[in-house]
Amino acid sequence: MRAEILGEKGFGLKMDESALWVGMLLGAIGGGYFLYGRKQSDAPAMLVGFLLCFVPYFIPNLVLLSLLSLILMAVPIVIRKYL
């Protein structure tokens, strides 16, 4: 099932139900990363949280979005552990 956002005369952005669920999940995870980064004064975690909240709006492919999100979620851990 596909729904067209902004009606027929809008931008023509098409999203299906799974894209909405993935976007909502990534937004929640990103919000958690952002709040953690703000409380701990951890800039990489804050940046990753911000990116996770807004990346779903710009990447329509769910596989690519999932891979990119997993990589983004690992960035603060790798930075903290190895740098």
pLDDT (tens, 9 = 90+) of the chain, 83 residues, equals 445 554 555 555 566 888 889 999 999 999 999 999 999 999 999 999 999 999 998 998 999 999 999 999 999 999 999 98
3-state SS of the chain is: CEEECCCCCCCCCEEEHHHHHHHHHHHHHHHHHHHHHHHHCCHHHHHHHHHHHHHHHCCCCHHHHHHHHHHHHHHHHHHHHHC
Domain count, the chain: 1
Does residue 52 lie within any of the structural domains?
yes
Does residue 5 lie within any of the structural domains?
no
- pTM for the complete prediction? 0.80
pLDDT of residue 60: 85
- Domain region containing 72: 16-82
Does residue 6 lie within any of the structural domains?
no
Does residue 2 lie within any of the structural domains?
no
Does residue 46 lie within any of the structural domains?
yes
pLDDT of residue 16: 83
